[in-house]
Amino acid sequence: MGAHAVPYCTTGERSFYITPQQMELLRLRGAEFKLQAMCIQLDDPNRFRFHWPLMAELHVNRQPVRVYTRSGGYKLGANQRDEAADVSRLVVQGRNTIQFACSDARPFAVALMLMRQRSLQQVKALMEPREPMPAALERVRRCIRGGCEEGDEDIEFGNVVVSLKDPYTCCRVAVPARFCDAGVGLEPFDLEPFLDTARRTRKWTDPHTMRHSCVQSLQ
């Protein structure tokens, strides 16, 4: 008899408890607090994103939960990300159960988290503090020198033109921002349009380098 491949499948079930205080937040302040189920790939090269495995099935208290906005049989692209699933209306005070199944050999972790929506000012408070002027000047000098130390006689200096046009609005940058871990480029982007885009797309991606980062690295 010929051999045939058997799809990899994994299932799991866990119990969790909702306290009276947590239930009150979900019922009375539902616009601000939500209980969300989320999943990440443990060895995902794209950091800081939710990622549901192939053919994922989620049930909370025996009720099915839709986790995809894409086809469950296709892998997530490099610049794509999944959303967390809102399960606030499916839980009760006290003991609850969550069941999960998928057909994917990659390592994943599923979590339930009580999430609170942050205001714009609270998001800005998470950002990296502004760079001091001497440190900023030294960083610009290093970029112009191509990363070489000052005093290297083999380096010739020329002109460097930096665009101040925001990649989102195509207007002049009003509040310049950058990601500290997204490279050594000098091109800024406008903070307010970027935060609005990040709120809608849930992506913290440098618009110039397309590198993925997080709000804590935004400066």
Same domain, 15 and 113: yes
Looking at the whole model, is its pTM more than 0.85?
A: no
C-alpha torsion sign, points 141, 145, 150, 156: negative
CATH of the domain at 190: 3.30.40.10
Q: How confident is the model at residue 1 (pLDDT cuts 50, 70, 90)?
A: very low
Q: What is the mean pLDDT of residues 90-117?
A: 92
Residue 218, pLDDT above cutoff 70: yes
Same domain, 113 and 14: yes
Q: What is the dihedral of CA 78, 195, 122, 18, to 10 degrees?
A: -40
- Scan for tokens 């994103």, then name that residue: 49
Q: What is the mean pLDDT of residues 86-102?
A: 94
What is the residue range of 169's domain? 121-149+160-217
Residue 177 lies in a domain: yes
Same domain, 145 and 47: no
